[in-house]
Amino acid sequence: MTAKEFIVWFILSLSAAFALAVILFCVHLGMPWWPHHLNREVRIAKHHIAESIEGPTIWLQGGSSTWFGFDSPLLQAETGFDVVNLAFNINMPLEFCFDEVRLFAKPGDALILGLENSMYFRNNYSSYAADEITIWEPEFFWSLSLGRKAQFLKSLPWRKVLAGDLVRLGQLTGDFDKQLKPLPPEKVIENLEDQWDGRYTGEIPAYYNYLTLNRHGDFVQSNHTLWRGTHDYYLMDLHPVSEMTRHDFKEFTKWARENNVQILMSWLPMARNPKLDLEHPKVKASIHRITNFTSSMGLEFLGKPEDFILDIELFYDTSHHTTAEGATERTKRLLPFLKEVLD
């Protein structure tokens, strides 16, 4: 074999191996099964809530500190807007969070963006999000630019692809139907409506679940061990606001301006604890980087971080999840700032 023939064989083998990898990935893509039901079903439920809204609306978006951290009925009563909480997980890419808003927001609506601090600094896709999204929202993957697709795939753990392929194989053998088949969307919605009306008699399979949502999409159930740890809310890190965040914000704020959707920034609720010192130079610098960045996008925060420091007793199972009382307290503190700026 000559060197030329070797290089031709090498290129052919490389193409075949890549093709095989792509096939395995595509087989895995869009294969919902048990570990992924939670987020998929929560999203179906939140979309159902969002689709039923017609009037002027305040949309809530962010990570789980937003999912757990707003009292939407209070917000609705005080502002006169309908309120829908679209948030669910800190790991979801900003692009994904913004896409969810783009799906439903109408001219005249407002968006309260309560991002966790780490979301400003993240410059990659989390492997958790990559795994979840390939399973229940493959369209998001296809919508990404080529560079972002590569970045997304880099974060996807190959063992998850292997698991997805096994499950797809189980679908062919019929074993999938025994325990792994997800609820169809209409059943999710039926159960949700039953739960709201007090008719649901089944078990709630996990404490983060679509059945723990109220009619606005807030998390309402409280039956878990309480978190009483320490956390600096990623304010001690010296990361710059990432290029990925800058790009996504730029695109989204442009869209919001064109569609007359008002974006309002909210600090996340933070528990008073020994690790959180807002006077620490590093913390001040982090806050400064975040506010500088949002200002550069033409966005302003409602209040200051210190306005949203809550007693640790108002926190639920993690440093980022408030109890129902904590959510009400956070919302009460936000309302004066919100009323000032709502058009």
Partner 1 sequence: MLFFSPLFLFVFLPIVWIVFMAIGSRVPAWVSICWLLVCSWVFYAWAYPVHLLWLMGSVAANYLCSVAIERTSQSHVAKRYLVAGITANLLILGGFKYSGFATESVATLFGLSLTPPSFLLPLAISFFTFQQISYLVITYREKRLIAKPHEYALYVSFFPQLIAGPIVQPDEMIPQLQTKRFGRPSLDDIGLGISLFTIGLGKKILLADNLAPIADSAFALSAQGESLSAFSAWLGLLAFSLQIYFDFSAYSEMALGLGRFFGIRLPENFASPYRAINIIDFWRRWHVTLSTFFKKFLYIPLGGSRSGFFRKYSNLILTMTIAGLWHGANYTFLLWGLAHGTLLAINHLWKNSPIKLPTGLSWALTFLSVTLCWTLFRADNLNESARYFQALFGEFGWITADGLPLSEFLKTLEPVDSWKTVHYAIHFLEWYPGLINGVHAGHFIFSEIMLSSLQVLAALTLVLLFPRPLSWLTHPVNEAPVFRKRAAFLTAIIIVIVIIQSGTFQTTPFIYFRF
> In what order do the strands lie in the sheet containing 262-265?
82-85, 57-62, 110-114, 262-265
- Distance (Å, whole) CA 167 – CA 99: 28
Smallest distance, partner 1 to C-beta of residue 1, A: 4
Beta carbon nearer to partner 1, 136 or 315: 136
Specify whether the CB–CB gap between 286 and 294 falls below 8 A: no
Query: What does the CA dihedral 194, 198, 201, 205 come to, rounded to 10 degrees?
Result: 80
Beta carbon nearer to partner 1, 1 or 281: 1
Could you identify the residue written with the tokens 């753990």? 157
Smallest distance, partner 1 to C-beta of residue 233, A: 25
Q: Which residues bind partner 1 (CB under 8 A)?
A: 1-7, 9-10, 12-14, 16-18, 20-21, 33-35, 127, 131, 153-160, 162-164, 166-167, 170, 173, 175-176, 178-180
SS3 content of the chain, % helix, strand, coil (to 5): 55, 10, 35
At residue 210, φ and ψ (nearest 5 deg) are -60, -20
Smallest distance, partner 1 to C-beta of residue 324, A: 32
- Written as six digits, the tokens of 125 are 């896709």
Beta carbon nearer to partner 1, 127 or 222: 127
Smallest distance, partner 1 to C-beta of residue 161, A: 8
Smallest distance, partner 1 to C-beta of residue 25, A: 9
Q: Within 10 Å of residue 107's Cβ, how many Cβ atoms?
A: 9
Smallest distance, partner 1 to C-beta of residue 169, A: 8
- Distance (Å, whole) CA 28 – CA 23: 9
Beta carbon nearer to partner 1, 4 or 258: 4
Beta carbon nearer to partner 1, 167 or 334: 167
Beta carbon nearer to partner 1, 71 or 131: 131
